[in-house]
Amino acid sequence: MLDKLIATSDVLIESFRPSTARRLGVDAPSLRARHPRLICASIAGFGASGPYVERAAHDINYQALAGLLTPPARPGPLVGDIGAAMQTAVGVLGALFHRERTGRGAAIDVSIHEAALHWSMCPTTADLESACYTLYETADGEWLALGALETKFWAAFCERIERPDLIPLQHARGAERERVMRDVRAIVKTRTRAEWLARFDGTDACLTSVSTRDEVVDDPHLAARSVVTRASGVTYVTAPGVRVRPAPGLGADTDDVLDAAGVSAATRDALKKASVI
């Protein structure tokens, strides 16, 4: 049945350990020997080669090995998994373009460990932290995020907090930077978050609230774009950042795809009873 599906497919993505993929016959060499135009993307924890290739691991392990963790803090976003998904998408798009030029498919080797490593090479907010790029607590225990990296934004911020004397000190270092940050922290603590947001309404200063997950659902901008929804207490992103067309639900097209590949209704029913599909 797999060969029937692949015969009419452009891309196959599998995420087994390399030895498991070979045992199941879904590794890139086996599949592309029969289907040379197929683009086969293999996502494995440590890629297709190397001494760690058969190790078991999860995102916390990949981040730990990539130097992304500072104990005892635990990981934030699952950047290994997310990064690997992004790399797979880019690799598949490049392979499709290459196939249009050459007629040949490709094997794409994606390592979740290396995807996490790529994130470790990126600048972090710690590299940028200064009075103009940090978080400030308000009088009611809420938080504001300030991202006034450009001089014009910092100047607008300082004017609104009535401290224009701080404008030349935007990129102060050492003890002077600490003094500026203490001053700004003290000022921001004098008003509630709502009061500061009202005061900065219409001002280009790159100042926003730090939203809770519940508040995200009620964000008027996201609501206007139909981006998020909540069901059973869980918040879901219902529209992609890049909008082409909505993705189908999991399994929504399974019957149609298998029917087009020549898999009979009886066989599909048997597969459903066996929890294969």
Q: Split the chain (277 residues) into runs of 10 and give each run's mean pLDDT.
A: 91 97 96 96 97 96 94 91 96 97 97 95 80 96 96 98 98 95 98 98 96 85 82 70 65 90 92 91
Q: What pLDDT shows up at residue 247? A: 64
Q: Look at residues 241, 247, 252 and name the one whose alpha carbon lies nearest to residue 277.
A: 252
Question: What residues does 14 pair with on adjacent strands?
Answer: 42
DSSP letters spanning 1-20: -HHHHHHT-SEEEE-S-HHH
Whole-angstrom distance between the N-terminal and C-terminal Cα of the chain?
12
| pTM score, whole prediction | 0.79
Dist CA 133 CA 211 (whole Å): 17
Q: What pLDDT shows up at residue 243? A: 57
Strand positions, DSSP E, the chain: 11-14, 39-44, 106-111, 133-137, 143-147, 207-209, 228-231, 234-237
Q: Which domains does the chain have, with CATH numbers?
A: 2-122 (3.40.50.10540), 125-210 (3.30.1540.10), 211-237 (no CATH), 247-277 (no CATH)
Q: Is 30 helix (H, G, I), strand (E, B) or coil?
A: helix
Q: What pLDDT shows up at residue 216? A: 82
Q: What pLDDT shows up at residue 127? A: 74
